[in-house]
Amino acid sequence: MAGLPWELKFPKLIGVKLTGKMSGWTSAKDVILKVAGILTVKGGTDAIVEYFGPGADSISCTGKGTICNMGAEIGATTSIFCYDEKMAEYLRGTSRKAVADLADGIKEHLRGDDEVYANPEMYFDQVIEINLDELEPHINGPFTPDLAWPLSKFAAAVKENGWPATLEVGLIGSCTNSSYEDISRAASLADQAVKNGLKAKSEFTITPGSELVRHTIERDGFLSTFDKMGGVVLANACGPCIGQWARHTTRP
């Protein structure tokens, strides 16, 4: 804009090799929380993070979107996955078959060369390997996204650090965990609670990631299920992640 050259530092390349396959309640968000725990909130600064390997191919397209979105939490310049069948399925399932057909026609150019993934240490500045078979659901915090605890270690961490042991509010949604996939999993659990006459003891909030997601989950009855359990649907916008919601249970 000033008529002067603009210099940009050439980014490092960080490769995250994913093996195995997620199971149970482990989700894509646990992958990026695990990466954040390894790299810290500054570890991705001036770096491009690429996820690859058989584990990457097993993650849904919306799951990949969650992981890349949260690359901002480690300061990454950007985060990428190779084009694969999960992406093609997503495009076709969201009325973009023509785009999927075009991408399929050049798919060999939408991923790295085989020799890169066979010997990643030769091509990346840093390589991290995560076995999805062993990855647990994580609980994040407090206060920083690189402090994530595997569920099996969380109770001990709360006790050792003297953190409040009462959960006051829960959230699914916002810019992550707001896809149809994530919300449908939460709705399945809420439906079981409703059928057993259970209500949420803490506040439970839902922030759809977009109007399309909100419309779809309303169409499929998920919002009604959340309402029966005591959930509160918020606007499709920022809010709880930045501490912006009515704290009905918090003392002044």
Burial class of residue 39 (count of CB atoms within 10 Å of its CB; 0-12, 13-18, 19+)? buried
Predicted local distance difference test score (pLDDT) of residue 248: 67
User: Do 12-131 and 166-242 come out as alike in CATH topology?
Assistant: no
Convert 202-221 to b/e letters by CB count within 10 Å (16 or more is b).
Answer: ebbbbbbbeeebbeebeeee
Average pLDDT of the residues in 129-137: 96
Predicted local distance difference test score (pLDDT) of residue 222: 94
- The domain spans of the chain are 12-131, 166-242
Task: Record the tokens describing residue 145, joined without a space.
Answer: 């996204």
Least confident of 115-124, 132-141, 190-199, 237-246: 237-246
pLDDT in tens, 182-216: 899 999 999 999 999 988 888 888 988 888 889 99
Mean pLDDT of the chain: 90
By percentage, how much of the chain surpasses pLDDT 70?
A: 98
Burial class of residue 120 (count of CB atoms within 10 Å of its CB; 0-12, 13-18, 19+)? buried
pTM for this one?
0.88
Task: Record the tokens describing residue 179, joined without a space.
Answer: 């896809």
Question: Is the distance from CB of 66 to CB of 28 less than 8 angstroms?
Answer: yes
Angle between helices 211-219 and 222-229 (to 10 degrees): 80
User: What CATH number labels 12-131?
Assistant: 3.40.1060.10
Least confident of 2-16, 36-50, 115-129, 174-188: 174-188
User: What one-letter code names the amino acid at 234?
Assistant: L
What Å distances lie between residue 106 and 64, 109, 136, 205, CA to CA?
20, 6, 36, 42
pLDDT at 246 over 80: no
Predicted local distance difference test score (pLDDT) of residue 141: 78
pLDDT in tens, 70-83: 999 999 999 999 99
| Rounded Cα gap, residues 71 and 43, in angstroms | 10
Residue located via tokens 């960080």:
14
pLDDT at 252 over 60: no
Reported as a pLDDT band with limits 50, 70 and 90, residue 250 is low
Q: Name the nearest CA neighbour of 153 among 135, 138, 164.
A: 138
Average pLDDT of the residues in 99-128: 96
pLDDT in tens, 169-184: 888 887 777 888 889 9
The fold for domain 166-242 equals Aconitase; domain 3 (3.30.499)
Question: Is the distance from CB of 219 to CB of 248 less than 8 angstroms?
Answer: no
Question: Is the distance from CB of 100 to CB of 88 less than 8 angstroms?
Answer: yes
Reported as a pLDDT band with limits 50, 70 and 90, residue 111 is very high
Convert 66-100 to b/e letters by CB count within 10 Å (16 or more is b).
Answer: bbbbbbebbbbbebbbbbbebbbebbeeeeeeeeb
Reported as a pLDDT band with limits 50, 70 and 90, residue 57 is very high
Least confident of 17-26, 106-115, 234-243: 234-243
